[in-house]
Amino acid sequence: MTEKLELLEEHRVFDGTQRKYQHHSETLHCAMTFSLFLPNVEKFPNPSLIWWLSGLTCTDDNFTHKAGAQKKAAELGLALIMPDTSPRGETVADDADWDLGQGAGFYVNATQQPWDANYQMYDYIVTELTAIVRETLGLTGSESIMGHSMGGHGALVIGLRNPDRFHAISAFSPIVNPSDVPWGIKAFDAYLGADKQAWASWDASKLLASHDGKPVPILLDQGTADNFLHVQLQPENLIAPEGYPLKIRMQDGYDHSYYFIASFIDEHLEFHQKHL
């Protein structure tokens, strides 16, 4: 696996290192990039790892460049990994609309043609990229997961489906019930087919409502000035069983942008570190 991993960039930042890698994905059948922040390895030889999943139209660069997370991560001794949001390339299926296809993988395993040939983002993150992180990069510490918008949906779904692996979940402006909002309906119908029963295992609102395993603490931040709040996001539909450690914070005046993420990212990292 080592020979398949190419280091594209490396930058010193806040007593840590920001890297960007490329590799050929056997799961997605295309070249993929991901970014990784490592704190000072002399101080933190086996850091805990937080996965960040980005939203529609984003790549692994958006969070790396805009969130301002490296300073706090360096202080807390946390590693951060940022995968891309979908398979990419000339041979990969795409759509003319920005909310489907490349840049809009929705972190599911597609079952419908032509998407099923490449769009296996869940398996890519949970299995293939995980193996690279552990076996090639040597990161074997405890893990948690977070994300934004479509990536918030992905973080919630992956975290809830793997409660014995991830110690905490957090999200900014997540799509919490994709089965019932336009973005999710469009993507799920394309990737998973018309049978809505097949959608339930990819819908955080349904996974949480029926969750009976190990509780994974969840922190959700949502801006009240978010243009997508009422039609696409609907955080009120994320309802946990009684006693479940879920905290939803409505942040007055904040929108859907990375200005919102940068405003509260330190608090999210502290939340994760507490549970890691």
Given 149, 170, 173, 205, the catalytic residue? 149
Q: What is the DSSP string of 52-90?
A: EE--TT--THHHHHHS--HHHHHHHTEEEEEE-SS--ST
Given 23, 256, 268, 272, the catalytic residue? 256
233-267: buried (b, 16+ CB within 10 Å) or exposed (e) per residue?
Answer: bbbebbebeeeeebebeebeebbbbbebbebbbbe
76-109: buried (b, 16+ CB within 10 Å) or exposed (e) per residue?
Answer: bbbbbbbbbbbbbeeebbbeeeebbbbbbbbbbb
Kind and range of the H or E run holding 196: none
Dist. CA 227–CA 229, nearest whole Å: 6
Give the three-class secondary structure for 163.
coil
Question: Is 189 marked active-site?
Answer: no
Dist. CA 101–CA 121, nearest whole Å: 12
Question: Is 226 marked active-site?
Answer: yes
Given 84, 226, 268, 272, the catalytic residue? 226
Phi, psi of 132 (to 5 degrees): -65, -45
Beta strands in the chain (DSSP E): 6-13, 16-25, 30-38, 48-53, 78-83, 143-148, 166-172, 218-223, 246-251
Q: What are the tokens at 149?
A: 């918008």
Cβ neighbours of residue 96 closer than 8 Å, sequence gap 6 or more: none
Question: Is 142 marked active-site?
Answer: no
User: Considering only CA atoms, which of 169, 166, 129 is closest in space to residue 152?
Assistant: 169
Residue holding tokens 């608090």? 267
**Catalytic (active-site) positions:** 149, 226, 256
